[in-house]
Amino acid sequence: MFIVKVPGINGLGKTIGCEKAGNEIIKCLKEEIYSNEFGKAVNINEIDLEEIHLDNSDLEIANKIIYKNSFDMFESKEKTIFLGGDHSISYSLSKAFLDSCKSRGKEPCLIIFDAHPDCMSVTKGSEKYPNHEEWLRALIEQGFSSKNILLVGIRNSAEEEIEFLRENNIKIINMNQLLENLEETCEVIMEFSDKKELYLSLDIDIVDPVFAIGTGYREPGGLTSREFIYIIQRLNKIKNLRGVDLVEINPEKDANNMTVKLGARILAEFL
């Protein structure tokens, strides 16, 4: 498995601290996670680990660096896990994934687990570096086909986001649908990516803040950590899974390191 730390933040000042998540998750993986739940030992020395070094004071250059580095990884690696950072990094990562799929004649698919749709209107002048509330809208407006996007677990949307999702016919599985029959819904999610290259974007606020308090936008009514780990285990069986990002974990807002440890546990399940 190839793991890349991407300490990018562009969250209106509300995600400061997320840039530390990658280091903290890897530290926890090394010191506290001995195996995944299937009994595969976690050996940090056997994991390919890199970092995309960024200057968050220059967002345009930071996004160019994320795009270039991740494009090269999509071209050369079977599967890559990106550790944010906040959700703004998913714009350049997903754009690189889209362009890599095009270069290889593959159809891309994007499945997002998030409490929010991140489809606010893109701030004028920041189209090349949308923030964490705008990134998905910018990605769609710049060419990612909405028919190949699935949003899972959305439970708090602004009026303009609801309208944008409706106008673009973006498929949504809300929290009630997800939990009505978790096993069957996982099958639906997996079928959505059939015959396509898959990229997963995982915002930790998909999990209820009771289990993951260390994030900036806490939304009650989310998944339990048990439910989310089960979903990860199912999705990891998808053979065409090419990329994953795990974002919005903020160690500075955590309690007893539990959100960081959940992030490390999620990472271990992708082994």
Provide the domain limits for residue 153. Answer: 2-269
| 3-state secondary structure (DSSP) of residue 252 | helix
- Rounded CA separation 140/130 (Å): 12
Q: What's the number of domains the chain is made of?
A: 1
Tell me how many degrees the CA angle 234-90-208 measures, rounded to the nearest 5. Answer: 55
pTM of the model: 0.97
Structure confidence at residue 159 (pLDDT):
98
Q: Which is nearest to 83 in space by CA: 238, 243, 241, 220?
A: 243
- Structure tokens given for 38: 């299937």
Structure confidence at residue 58 (pLDDT):
96
Average pLDDT by consecutive 10-residue portion of the chain (271 residues)?
95 96 97 95 92 97 98 96 98 98 97 98 94 98 97 98 98 96 96 97 98 97 98 96 98 98 97 88
Torsion sign, CA atoms 69, 70, 74, 79: positive
Q: What is the CATH number of the domain that holds 142?
A: 3.40.800.10
Structure confidence at residue 1 (pLDDT):
75
Structure confidence at residue 26 (pLDDT):
97
